[in-house]
Amino acid sequence: MKKIQLLFLFALICLALVACGEKPAGSPDDTASAQPDPAEEPDEVTGYYEISREEYLNKTAAGYVSKLVSFTTDYKFVWNKDGTPRIALPDEWYRVCAGSDTPNNPYHQKVAKLFYNDQEKLYELWIADAFGIDILDQYILRDMFEKYGTVTTKTITEDWVKYDVYDMGGGQRSVGAYALAKNKNYVSPFLGSAEYGNRYPWCEEPWIENNTLGMVAAGMPNVALDLSAVFTPVTGDSDNVYWGDFIIAMYSMAYFESDIPTLIRRAAQIFPEDSWQRTVVEMSFDLYRKYPDDWRSAIIEAEKTCTRRGYYYHTDRALHSQGRVDINIAFSLLALLYGDGDFLATSRIFSLSGYDARGVMFLPVLGIIGGLSSLPEEAHEKIWQDGKGYIVNKPVEETKDNTGLWMCHLGNPERYYLSDLMEMFRENFEKLLLASGGRIEGDTYYIPKTAMRVADTLKLSDPDFESGTLDSWTVKGSASLTSYAYFGDWALQVNGAGEGTSEAYTTLTGLIPGKTYRASFYAIATQDTTALIYARAPGAQGTQHVSVSGQSEYVRRELVFTALGETMELGMMLRDEPACRYAILDDIRVERIFEQTPEGIGEVTVSAKTAEDGSVSGRIRVKIEGVHEEEEVFLKVNFANPGGSIVDGAISVNSNSFGAVPFYKTGDAGKEGSRDFVYIPIVLRRESNSVDIDVGNDSLIVYGAEVVTVKDRLLACE
């Protein structure tokens, strides 16, 4: 991996140390980094699935229609008189395509969206967030391939503005993904981040709006997960993104797997064994076994047990408690298990469970498995309509003046015809199939079989502090548990110690020396406080660290570090901070990743006008020798931003505008050992490329840049 430093003092010192045979803090031994690693090889193709074009279209149409059937059948946001959510609704409420979003429902009326058009003699369904962004994603995928020949993050920003997206939560016009795309020109994943202005990073959108991406990756769960990594962070940065991965993978596998428990367990492999997500899956299976013939008792217990306290549900950001992802997922898994593959039985439990957005996520699994012939009569009569069905793409009359409820794309036609959408799914699937090593011979698709890559995650002693103690952490100075947690009941709080360092750390074991790991977490630091979240060799002084500086609300951070041995310390410290200042850390996840320089990329150099303090303003130019046409890559920029506010960098590639990225506040934490970075997604099409980062009158310190690809999932599972 080539890494060319800026020519200011810090870089000269590092280069001089290397020239003298010494290594900067954090460098692994040469012998360790040379170890071969089978997990770093490309996915091995072990055979091919075969499916005809007709069968693919049939399964895909059934999957998408199932989403619409569930939307029009489900009951959403039903409340008891005392203001609590009502669950396990009465049997008589259930009618296919006659739920709370259809006219004249006698039990619970929400916003009617399914109407009969007397002139056309057809039913028409008006657009909603639960299935509208799925459509938008197909337009975006089409545009990606037309413009760049590959999946590229840049197109998402362009198209959310181009198609003029109104969407609940993440797409709100002033504080959501659309606003950040329109006003800031940010690219994903910054659009969904709380730190950069999205006020609904916890919302349902990542897991209800992007699931049908699994349909354009039929039989290719790794491709589905790669798509999820690009699309789900557009509207969130919480565990909603992880659940989006889960559902998208399940859709992909459903084309060639019909056993429901097997599908659930295979998709759940993407979660760490000790994660809360895996726990919810296992609790759902336990409840199914506990109440084998009583889904209502299972639902009632799941509402109490399959949930954990969440930070955003205790702030003014949360819209409602019924959007809680863990409860909705548990309800969904129970419906799938009790329904046992029967479409109507499963749909009935989805409809009557309560809360929000269950069937629209999971009923399509049964549609994909069974095809159009497996759908009930009402699905054909009111939704598919012999392929003539359509979705009205404009605001529902009752909500048109409420910008928070508009869920349409004013830059697109006012009707989405289902038959046209299926062709768009097919075209995008074919492009992804060929790009992934598949074949098309006549009317037959040959889909490569590969083992699903899942997270190679370290088991931590107490990653979310829910033990209620700090027994697995070493404290130096002042640290304690706090109830002001991101998830659950407890988090770690490290307090300033005046002069000197205050810290708490835990020991990581089972590391592979020389390999790259990523620690993700949520953190807060009080005003004028800078906390370092670090990894270091046991007892060492030097650290590899990132910073959290002056953040009054939780932000998500990632520390990418190199294992210096089989054991390292991971912790948080405050240096020379007054006792009145503190930082909070919660919900840690550590996984091995594969970050490498892609084939064809040569020397990377950085140039800019550097001030005496090492900072740069205006334009920073990165020259990249070599071309990489296979996929989007990342320009990884290692930086410090001590200025006290976020710095936006306008990005252009080969003089063409490519969006913008924010550089978060680091305080004075940069210096030696800093791993603060941003990934800038770019497409390199020339033998010699230039990337400009224009920070205007603001300033940064840039320690270096490199071009990398990142593979997040490494362990191969059946």
Write out pLDDT tens, residues 134-172.
999 999 999 999 998 999 998 999 999 999 998 876 667
Q: Who's near 394: CB < 8 A, 6+ residues apart?
A: 126, 127, 408, 410, 414
Q: How confident is the model at residue 395 (pLDDT cuts 50, 70, 90)?
A: confident
Q: How confident is the model at residue 26 (pLDDT cuts 50, 70, 90)?
A: very low
Q: Whose CA is closest to 337, among 352, 322, 354, 349?
A: 349
Which CATH superfamily is 456-594 part of?
Galactose-binding domain-like (2.60.120.260)
Contacts of range 403-407, beta carbons closer than 8 Å, 24 or more positions apart:
403/166, 403/172, 403/173, 404/168, 404/172, 405/111, 405/168, 406/166, 406/167, 407/127, 407/128, 407/129, 407/132, 407/166, 407/167, 407/168, 407/171
Domain ranges of the chain: 9-44+596-713, 47-450, 456-594
What's the average model confidence in pLDDT over 435-452?
96
What's the average model confidence in pLDDT over 44-59?
96
Q: How confident is the model at residue 28 (pLDDT cuts 50, 70, 90)?
A: very low
Residue-wise pLDDT tens digits, 553-597:
999 999 999 999 999 999 999 999 999 999 999 999 999 999 999
Residue 43 has pLDDT above 90, yes or no: no
Residue 196 has pLDDT above 90, yes or no: yes
Residue-wise pLDDT tens digits, 96-121:
999 999 999 999 998 899 999 999 99
Over the chain, what is the mean pLDDT? 90
What's the average model confidence in pLDDT over 376-384?
98
Q: What is the pLDDT of residue 614?
A: 86
The DSSP result for 141-201, as a single string, is HHHHHHHHSS--THHHHHHHHHTTB--SGGG-TTTSHHHIIIII-BPTTGGG-TTTT-S-T
Domain 47-450 -> CATH class = mainly alpha
Q: What is the pLDDT of residue 40?
A: 64
Q: Who's near 376: CB < 8 A, 6+ residues apart?
A: 69, 96, 343, 344, 347
Q: What is the pLDDT of residue 6?
A: 35
What's the average model confidence in pLDDT over 657-676?
89
Greater confidence (197 vs 14) lies with 197
Q: What is the pLDDT of residue 4?
A: 36
Helix axes 129-148, 418-435, angle to 10 degrees: 50
Q: What is the pLDDT of residue 670?
A: 65
Whether domain 9-44+596-713 has CATH 2.130.10.10: the reply is: no
What's the average model confidence in pLDDT over 469-491?
96
What's the average model confidence in pLDDT over 621-645?
92
Residue-wise pLDDT tens digits, 264-311:
999 999 999 889 999 999 999 999 999 999 999 999 999 999 999 999
Beta bridge partners of 130: none
C-alpha 298/C-alpha 278 separation (Å) is 18
Contact predicate 130/209, CB 8 Å: yes
The two domains 9-44+596-713 and 456-594 share their CATH topology (first three levels equal)? yes
